[in-house]
A and B are shown apart, each in its own frame.
Chain A
Amino acid sequence: MKKTAIWIIGLLVAFLGVFTVSAEEATLTLDDIVQKTNLAAYYGGEDGRSEVNMTITDGQGRTRTREFVILRKDVEDGGRQKFYVYFKKPSDVRKMVFMVHKYIEKDDDRWLYLPALDLVKRIAGSDKRTSFVGSHFLYEDVSGRSPTEDEHELVETTDTMYVMKNTPKDPDSVEFSSFTMWIDKKTFIPVKIEYLDKRGKKYRLVEALKTEMVQGIPTVTQSRAQDLLSGGKTVSEFSNVKYDIGLKDSIFTERYLRKAPKAVRN
């Protein structure tokens, strides 16, 4: 997720050096910002692992939790990626696996492994704006929305933020009319994303609540998605984040759905 995200900035800093950054920033085009943000948010390191503690709170304050491990491996920066989500809790869904092969040019491949039913199921991926395991995060928040799907517009540049408005090219394919991102100038982490509904009313908010440096990569360690209409929200906490751990490609195959790889352990 976002936490896995942000190391592009780190890489940039490392390669370009502190001095060139300000010069770079000055000449950034809108397209540059879009790309850097995408990379910062979803492509930190070559691969990564994180443990996620998700607390879903509904409008009445009732909570449910999920605990899972996310493994991610990039095929190419800003392009194809693979995710492996292994559930630990609630205990009755332990060993459930959600696996994604993300593509840019076509629909993602998604698999669900349900151990209690001994069933591997593919989930057709045409619509990414469905809930991620009942939380207020959408599948698209987890795997990333391709920048090519929206028109981008830099609305404002403050001392610390780029404010970018994104309007879908195919409005019928999504439930929002537009969303606005507040992007940290230094890290390119989107710290706040506001969604407007078809009537132009704000109804959804996704925020990075905490960002830490992990192995030199700015990493979101706490994020929150809010449903402003129902008052429900989901907070995700990321712990034990590690980058560049050398995940094998074979992990992200159907074979490993039934038998979880060691990497899901500490």
Chain B
Amino acid sequence: MKMGNRLIQFSTEWPKLITGVMVIVTLILATMMVRVQVDTDPENMLAESEAVRVFHNQTKRMFTLHDVVVVGIVNETHPDGVFNPTTLGYVHELTQFAMNLADDKNPEKRVVARDVIAPGTVDAIEQAGPGQVRFEWLMRKPPETRAEALKVRDRAIANPLLKGTMVSENGKALAIYLPITAKDFAYSLRRQLLKKIAGFTGDDRFYITGLPVAEDTFGVEMLTQMAISAPLAMMAIFLLMLFFFKKVKMIISPLIIAMVTVIWTMGLLIGFGNTLHIMSSMIPIFLMPIAVVDSVHILSEFFDNYQKIRSRRKTLKKVMGHLFVPMLYTSLTSSAGFASLALTPIPPVRTFGIFVAIGIMLAWLLTIVFIPAYIMLLKEESLATFGVIKSGNDGSKNKTLLSRILGWLGRITYTQSKLIVLFTILMIGISALGISKIEINDNPVKWFKKNHAIRVADRVLNEHFSGTYEAYLVLEAETVAFELPDAVNAVKEALAQAIGNEAPVYNEAIGLVKSVSSTSGSAEDFINLLSDEFELKMDAAPDEEYDMWADGLDVMDSIRNRGQIFKRPDLLRYIASLQEHLVQTGTAGKSNSVADVVKKIYQELFEANPEYFRIPDTVNGVAQSLMAYQNSHKPDDLWHLVTPDYAKANLWVQLKSGDNKDMEATISVVDAFIKENPPPVPLIHRWAGLTYINVVWQNKMVMGMLKSFLSSFVVVFVLMVILFRSPLWGLLAMVPLSVTVAFIYGIIGIIGKDYDMPVAILSSLTLGLSIDFAIHFLERSRQEHTRIGSWREAAKEMFEEPARAISRNVVIIAVGFTPLLLAPLVPYQTVGIFLASIMVVSGIGTMIILPVLIKGAERVLFQNK
């Protein structure tokens, strides 16, 4: 208090100095903001060193995978769908155009032309007359006749790797997959494509989707949105304050506080070398209401008192005397709420929490130092009418309306306390029910409004295709020890089988095995040395023995290559059955694997006979089918699905939705399948892909948020106990907050809104904002009770000035952020709705629950006073 007094005294005496310093610091920090680096990649929700990201990147490298932008072409009117010469002409033109696209500024950000999937860039394996197969581009050039166009369709649909992926089963839609080297090229790619598409005529509809597009576009729109919503919110707050306080000169001060706070905080954030991430871009939106709240308390009280006291300095002294401690504590608690986010395992959330916490304390400091200074700088005459409207004509209705409502509310809390308690308990019950129904789920595509082009594209394309969301299931064998005795036994066994122990060279071969094994140090040594020996024998062998030694060498080779498990028919069949299971359970639209390639080529090798759409029976059969496949235009396509050493396989899973809950369902289906159906060799299975990464950071975030929320709950409680020097009062302060949090999350559960990233973040805001009113209310209640001596009388006082300050705050913040509801980005809408609900619920909760509880526990609460 003493320090507070001195501070206020200082600022009322040196208003110009204070203003000057503030302006200079603001300018310095504003220049920092120029150095902003934007990072819109949700992948960065996880630290770069995070195991799942490391593995994701490894997987991308291992299987030459890229993030993919999907362009869908749909024609519902033409009887042949998109498979007519005109549309295919456009498809061809667009593919050629897209393959050469790169970022203007950084040509390294580009479309990976080689891996584009489009009718003109994929191979068709097909029958070319009896006993013949042909590898041919599916569509080297756009067809000129209907028959040619339909042939493209039929060949594409006949290829299981393309059906549902590149071509819809009904022939109405085609998809072009454009892999890109950098995700942040997606937005620019989409724009370039849209420009090109604008030049096409006809009934074809073009849609562009894929997670990279959603994520990158969100990043771009988010920045625009920040530039629009923050000033709009500011404007709305300004208008509301004008309505309440009438005096433009006075109400500019909270706006200055809000702006300066935002500039200082963002300047510091950027100055410290942080990138502007999706999270940190929301800092201004979060800081503004908090920064404004304290000033509104000051202004509200100043407004109510000034005409009585008629001196700026004296009024300030009185107002600040009331408010210094509650403001300090509300700021500390809000700050603690956000600082607790530093406990989450998500770097951008940590940065966000820390800087909002810093921003809140800056706002507090600026408020108590600058607002008095600002008021002192105003001429006494210009304040002459400030607060006069209280009894004036045009303001009287207002005043009486608000005052009347508050007066009525005050009486009710006294007379109907049992009802209020009952009602509160009922609400808590309903909220608990709602909370139990909360579904944790997120999907970057759903960050756009339903009618946003990206959402529409997502919906349409996932109706036509098997899914535009990718996840990769990487399979590999668990490492098994293979020592020298194992190798010797394996060789002996295999030799007996390959050469036969009747064969004349068999004994010779076994002799070699024995002599070589005695001189080798390891299994590897043994196999290599033995191979050398066999090779010598083979070279010298007479014709009839030549093949036997060669077979012996094959034995060595197959043992050496025992790690090439994904040539094994049993494993490929296992993968195929897993794929079938995935589609049957409906979580995945489709999946592609090396098993599909093998089956397709095997079938084509046997006259396209459907009976041969299966895995050949031997390793060599698989290997030779795959060797035949590699005589195509793009043999390297195989390496998207299996590594060249055949030790790791990639199951490319196509999901129809990017919802985390759908990805999670797929994960558990796979886990359960592998558990119930043990693979022929023990396999390690791990996921990669953007859709999966989103699940991982979501789970981390939800758990992290819960932890940070609980810890900040405790911190706030401790602060309250210290503030009120009483555990009971501390507990009391936590009541409205708890009810608000329960109520808001209850509503989320009841209306079925997914608990997503913005909702998770907002829990800290709820805590920080809703404690504010309780602090102000309780602090004043104690002061009034001490002054008056009875709660019955004190309560009446409470529903004058203090209740008005709370109410004004509620209205200003709640209404002030309604411009956010107009944002095309859902997280911004969520924040807007949330802020309004938090303010309304915690405001009302504070004003009706606290008086009832104080009344009920009056004796205990005030026993020592």
What is A's interface to B at a CB cutoff of 8 Å? 58-60, 62-64, 87, 89-94, 96, 112, 114-117, 119-124, 126-127, 129-134, 139, 172, 199, 229-230, 232, 262, 265-266
Contacts and interface: CB of A to CB of B under 8 A. Distances in A.
Contact of B561 (A90, A96, A112): A90
Most buried by B among A87, A123, A132: A123
Contacts of B619: 92
A58 B636 contact: yes
Q: Taking each of A64, A87, A134, A262, which has the highest tally of chain B beta carbons within 10 Å of its own beta carbon?
A: A134
A170 to B, nearest CB: 11
B632 A114 contact: no
Given A58-B639, A93-B627, A116-B623, A121 B543 contact: no
Contact of B644 (A64, A119, A132): A64
Contacts of B3: none
A120 B554 CA distance: 22
Interface in B534-551: 539, 543, 546, 550
A91 B140 contact: no
B59 to A, nearest CB: 13
Contacts of A60: 61, 64
B633 A131 contact: yes
B275 interface: no
B546 A265 contact: yes
Nearest to B628: A112
Nearest to A139: B631
17 contacts: A60-B64, A62-B643, A62-B644, A87-B627, A91-B557, A91-B558, A92-B622, A116-B621, A116-B624, A121-B605, A121-B628, A123-B631, A124-B134, A127-B633, A130-B632, A199-B100, A265-B543
Contacts of B539: 266
Interface string B123-161: 000001101111111001100000000000000000000
Contacts of B131: 120-122
B631 A92 contact: no
A266 B543 CA distance: 11
Interface in B89-137: 100, 113-114, 128-129, 131-137
B141 A172 contact: yes
Contact of B133 (A63, A92, A124): A124
A90 B563 CA distance: 14
Interface in B599-642: 602, 605-606, 616, 618-625, 627-628, 630-636, 638-639
A121 B132 contact: yes
B60 to A, nearest CB: 11
The 9 A-B pairs at the shortest CB distance, nearest first, are namely A134-B630, A91-B557, A116-B620, A124-B128, A92-B623, A124-B134, A134-B635, A116-B621, A122-B132
A134 B141 contact: no
Contact of A114 (B561, B624, B630): B624
Contacts of A58: 636, 639, 644
B776 interface: no
A2 B134 CA distance: 25
Contacts of B129: 124
A117 B553 contact: no
Nearest to A87: B627
Contact of B140 (A90, A133, A172, A266): A172
Given A63-B644, A115-B624, 20 more contacts: A58-B636, A91-B557, A114-B605, A117-B624, A117-B625, A120-B131, A121-B131, A126-B136, A127-B633, A129-B633, A131-B631, A131-B633, A131-B635, A133-B631, A134-B627, A134-B631, A172-B140, A230-B114, A262-B543, A265-B546
A234 B136 CA distance: 23
A229 B636 CA distance: 13
A111 B618 CA distance: 22
Contacts of A89: 557
Contacts of A120: 131
A91 B554 contact: yes
B567 interface: yes
Contacts of A119: 605-606
Most buried by A among B135, B140, B567: B135
Contacts of A62: 643-645
A120 B624 CA distance: 12
A230 B637 CA distance: 13
Interface residues of B, number: 52
A114 B567 CA distance: 15
B630 A94 contact: no
Given A130-B633, A230-B114, A91 B624 contact: no
Contacts of B639: 58
Contacts of A123: 132-135, 631
A189 B553 CA distance: 37
B623 A93 contact: yes
A120 B141 CA distance: 31
A78 B100 CA distance: 39
B136 A96 contact: no
Given A59-B64, A92-B558, A116-B621, A121 B133 contact: yes
B625 to A, nearest CB: 7
A62 B495 CA distance: 30
A114 B639 CA distance: 22
Nearest to B556: A91
B633 A116 contact: no
A132 B628 CA distance: 10
A203 B285 CA distance: 50
Contacts of A115: 620, 624
B643 A132 contact: no
B22 to A, nearest CB: 56
Contacts of A132: 631
A117 B136 CA distance: 23
A129 B137 CA distance: 11
Contacts of B616: 116-117
Contacts of B606: 119
Contacts of A262: 543
Contacts of A122: 131-133
A226 to B, nearest CB: 14
Contacts of B561: 90-92
A133 B630 contact: yes
A131 B638 CA distance: 13
A171 to B, nearest CB: 11
Contacts of A127: 134-137, 633
Nearest to B100: A199
A172 B113 CA distance: 18
B623 A90 contact: yes
Contacts of B546: 265
A150 B4 CA distance: 90
A120 B645 CA distance: 27
| Residue with the greatest number of chain B CB neighbours at <10 A, chosen from A60, A117, A262, A265 | A117
Contacts of A63: 644
Contacts of A92: 554, 557-558, 561, 567, 619-620, 622-624
A187 B606 CA distance: 45
Contacts of B620: 92-93, 115-116
Given A121-B605, A126-B134, A114 B628 contact: yes
Contacts of A172: 140-141
A202 B628 CA distance: 29
A205 to B, nearest CB: 16
Taking each of A64, A116, A129, A230, which has the highest tally of chain B beta carbons within 10 Å of its own beta carbon? A116
Nearest to A118: B621
A19 to B, nearest CB: 45
A116 B543 CA distance: 22
B555 to A, nearest CB: 8
Nearest to B643: A62
Interface in B429-479: none
B133 A96 contact: no
B101 to A, nearest CB: 12
A130 B631 contact: yes
Contacts of A90: 557, 561, 623
Interface in B498-532: none
A133 B632 CA distance: 8
